[in-house]
Chains A and B, each alone.
Chain A
Amino acid sequence: MTQFKRGIAVVSKPVSKKLSTILIALVIILQVSILIVEYLGSVWPIWYGKAVVLETQPIDPRSLFRGNYVRLNFDINRLEQDELMPDNLLKVGSVAYLQLKEFDGVWRPVKLSSQAPESGDFIRGRVREAYPSHYRLDYGIEAFFMPKEEALTLQNDVRSYSQFKVYISKSGKARVNSVLCIDENCTIPRN
């Protein structure tokens, strides 16, 4: 605590050296733990998930901290058809599960619900906009980071639609992995 001597503030003693040393060591452990959790959360769907193919429109912006990326606007981000709508109205910010089914090599939406389906392929997302006519959801797969030139190439090559390989874990958590070329003249990098 601050002590006073003849009206002058005497700045208090720092936290004891031993305690501070332990605290710094704990901070290092905390930082490494956060990085490990982030890493495992990132690779888990790729290691143990199922690969599906989704259609998207790419746009190229720049992140302040992470470099250039292609923003992916998947078909499943905006759900408008009545038959997809859930039984109850979903709130903005709530978790939602979208059932997917394969049609000609591409996975398309079947049904949106607030509960995880018991069987079949499904992806976990969060409601960003909720209207009686449509929903807008994010699935955590909307960014694809690339060097600037490659990002621009992708954007120019794929003016309308492209396909991306996405891994989905059993819980519905998804991770985007690679871009797929569906055109013979495609110059998009394939990693």
Chain B
Amino acid sequence: MRLINLLKKELVQEARDWVKEDIISREQANVILARYGQSLEQGQGKGAFGYYVLMSLAVFFAGLSLLLLVSENWNQIPRMLRMVGLLVLTLSSNGMGLFYFRRQNYRASVLWLLFGSISYGVSIMLIAQIYHLGEHFPDGIYWWALGVLPLVVATQSRLIAFLVAALAFIWMFVEAGLEFFPLSFPIFILVVGWLIFWHKTSNLLYLMVITGALIWLNLSVSWLVGGRIEYEVSTDMVLFNIGLGLIFNGFSWRLMSSHNSHWKSYGLVSHLWLLRASLITLFIFSFDDVWHEFQFVDYQAFWWSVTYLFVAGVAGLSLARRSGKHAYLPMTMIWLYFLISFSLLSLNQNLSFYLTLLTNIVLVVMGILLIRRGIHQVESHYFYTGVVTLLILAFIRYFDLIGGYLGGAALFLVAASILLGAARYWKKVQGDEQPDDINSVVESTQGGRDHDSI
């Protein structure tokens, strides 16, 4: 799965230029674009789309204005008048939405329904304000989100789905902040997920769904550990999240190997974020103090967590198995590294030095694998991520020595040996193809630089 899938709209524009300059025919352009789920005809109504985006923002700002207007607390105006005013506004906005929907003017319909939905939420808050409702205030946000949720199904609008997802997130956070468990959060995630997987495309909503699911799963575990009375953060949750990362990475590879171009994009987006997250995690574990702390801290269910990590790795790898070695090689390495490292912690001996050393070697190998992938797939993003990983590692280790000056020197020597060995092996395997590949990567980035300088 190539990064160009995240630049599909730019590709359509490029293809239009190629057709205009008679480099390729219109049919050829459409055949090329079809590989990415696009066509020359897509995005023709850019003017209308721009108008729609600006109108959506205007509605959003008008809604915020309404919310603040109500917050001013107009005691001078009778309660009933204030309430009826907002109720009429909610009904008329939604009524206009329904009217335009019946006339098949969907964009106008969505904008009216969006304003109606905000007005509905403001009405909930106004009643709470007028009658001094001091009850659990996240309930107001919950009923707001729940009252708008069916509109996602009816209109299949990303705008309304975004409002629902944002409200669901706010509700989840305030609910958890008050030591309550947001049990029904998955309902919102499932409906938004249904929209973006089977009806519309939105990388932003996809990230919200994935992030929401991860946060909710963490809250669930923390809530269970706390005896369903309070949240309790346990050390085992680190293993839980590493396992989740492996499963989600496998899921991302599965999406990237699907025939659906939208799903491919989703897979690529989550894969890139997981790659960054895994590198940050490895950098955190590359410090001696971190492993020292993990060695002596209490665990709730240590072996259950290690077993779960084993199962999560198997699940992630089985999901990613048909995507080739770029998928399963780094995954297997990270899986085995965490599995072995955490298993060794049970020996009750101070192994933090060796585990830190192992983490640094894993980071070196990760850097090499990324550089290799970047060259092999002619993708500068992976190439430079690998290079930056190795440079950051060298920078950190130069200041934060492992085992004093001699230990640090030995580590750099080991890293240099691995890099040399990898380079020689590469030369042997790649033969004459390697220089061309490297040139392509360098040229692709050089071109970008030239373009920037212009």
Stretch at the interface among A32-40, A79-87, A101-109: A32-40
Shortest Cβ gap from A108 to chain B (Å):
20
Q: Which one of A4, A66, A69 lies within 8 Å of B260 (CB-CB)?
A: A4
Q: Which residues of A contact B134 (CB under 8 A)?
A: 72, 138-144, 176
Q: Which residues of B contact A2 (CB under 8 A)?
A: 197-198, 260
**Chain B, range 258-299, C-beta contacts under 8 Å to A:** 259-263
Q: Is A182 an interface residue (CB 8 A)?
A: no
Stretch at the interface among B94-102, B234-242, B354-362: B94-102
Q: Which one of B116, B143, B150, B199 lies within 8 Å of A14 (CB-CB)?
A: B199
Q: Is B62 an interface residue (CB 8 A)?
A: no
Query: Would you call A20 and B87 a contact (CB within 8 A)?
Result: no
Query: Would you call A8 and B37 a contact (CB within 8 A)?
Result: yes
Q: Which residues of B contact A32 (CB under 8 A)?
A: 87, 90-91
Q: A1-B198, A38-B127 are in contact. Are A93 and B75 (CB under 8 A)?
A: no
Query: Would you call B260 and A175 a contact (CB within 8 A)?
Result: no
Query: Would you call B150 and A23 a contact (CB within 8 A)?
Result: yes
Query: Would you call B67 and A12 a contact (CB within 8 A)?
Result: no
Query: Would you call A24 and B98 a contact (CB within 8 A)?
Result: yes
Query: Would you call A26 and B150 a contact (CB within 8 A)?
Result: yes
Q: Is B224 an interface residue (CB 8 A)?
A: no
Q: Is A159 an interface residue (CB 8 A)?
A: no
Q: Is A120 an interface residue (CB 8 A)?
A: no
Query: Would you call B260 and A6 a contact (CB within 8 A)?
Result: no
Identity of the chain B residue whose Cβ is nearest the Cβ of A177 in the assembled complex: B132
Query: Would you call A43 and B131 a contact (CB within 8 A)?
Result: yes
Q: Is B347 an interface residue (CB 8 A)?
A: no
Q: Which one of A20, A63, A139, A177 lies within 8 Å of B101 (CB-CB)?
A: A20
Shortest Cβ gap from A49 to chain B (Å):
12
Most buried by B among A32, A67, A138, A141: A67
Query: Would you call A27 and B147 a contact (CB within 8 A)?
Result: yes
Chain B 140-162 per-residue mask, 1 if CB under 8 angstroms from chain A, else 0: 11010001101101111000000
Query: Would you call A15 and B83 a contact (CB within 8 A)?
Result: no
Query: Would you call B133 and A42 a contact (CB within 8 A)?
Result: yes
Most buried by A among B37, B73, B132, B155: B132
Q: Which residues of A contact B67 (CB under 8 A)?
A: 65
Q: Which residues of A contact B398 (CB under 8 A)?
A: none
Q: What's the tally of chain A residues with a CB closer than 8 Å to chain B?
A: 57
Q: Is B71 an interface residue (CB 8 A)?
A: yes
Query: Would you call A35 and B87 a contact (CB within 8 A)?
Result: yes
Q: A4-B259, A30-B150 are in contact. Are A21 and B98 (CB under 8 A)?
A: yes
**Chain B, range 160-211, C-beta contacts under 8 Å to A:** 197-201
Query: Would you call A66 and B129 a contact (CB within 8 A)?
Result: yes
Chain A 177-191 per-residue mask, 1 if CB under 8 angstroms from chain B, else 0: 100000000000101
Query: Would you call B262 and A9 a contact (CB within 8 A)?
Result: yes
Query: Would you call A28 and B131 a contact (CB within 8 A)?
Result: no
Chain B: interface size category? 35 or more
Shortest Cβ gap from B89 to chain A (Å):
12
Most buried by B among A2, A35, A68: A35
Stretch at the interface among B53-61, B118-126, B363-371, B420-428: B118-126
Q: Is A89 an interface residue (CB 8 A)?
A: no
Chain A 142-168 per-residue mask, 1 if CB under 8 angstroms from chain B, else 0: 111111101000000000000000000
Q: Is B34 an interface residue (CB 8 A)?
A: yes
Q: Which residues of A contact B75 (CB under 8 A)?
A: 146-147, 150, 189, 191
Q: Which residues of B contact A92 (CB under 8 A)?
A: 229-230
Q: Is B137 an interface residue (CB 8 A)?
A: yes
Q: Which one of A23, A34, A72 lies within 8 Å of B154 (CB-CB)?
A: A23
Q: Is A88 an interface residue (CB 8 A)?
A: no
CA distance A166 to B229 in the complex (A): 30
**Chain B, range 334-352, C-beta contacts under 8 Å to A:** none
CA distance A35 to B123 in the complex (A): 7
Query: Would you call B198 and A145 a contact (CB within 8 A)?
Result: no
Q: Which one of A66, A93, A143 lies within 8 Å of B71 (CB-CB)?
A: A66
Shortest Cβ gap from A139 to chain B (Å):
8
Q: Which residues of B contact A28 (CB under 8 A)?
A: 91, 94-95, 98, 116
Other contacts beyond A9-B259, A143-B133: 8, CB < 8 A: A15-B153, A21-B102, A32-B87, A42-B130, A67-B70, A142-B134, A150-B75, A176-B132
Instruction: Show 26 residue pairs from A and B whose CB-CB distance is below 8 angstroms, ordered by the A residue.
Output: A9-B261, A21-B101, A23-B150, A23-B151, A23-B154, A27-B151, A28-B91, A28-B95, A28-B116, A34-B124, A34-B147, A35-B123, A35-B124, A38-B143, A65-B141, A66-B137, A67-B71, A67-B72, A69-B129, A91-B229, A92-B229, A139-B134, A142-B134, A145-B129, A175-B132, A189-B75
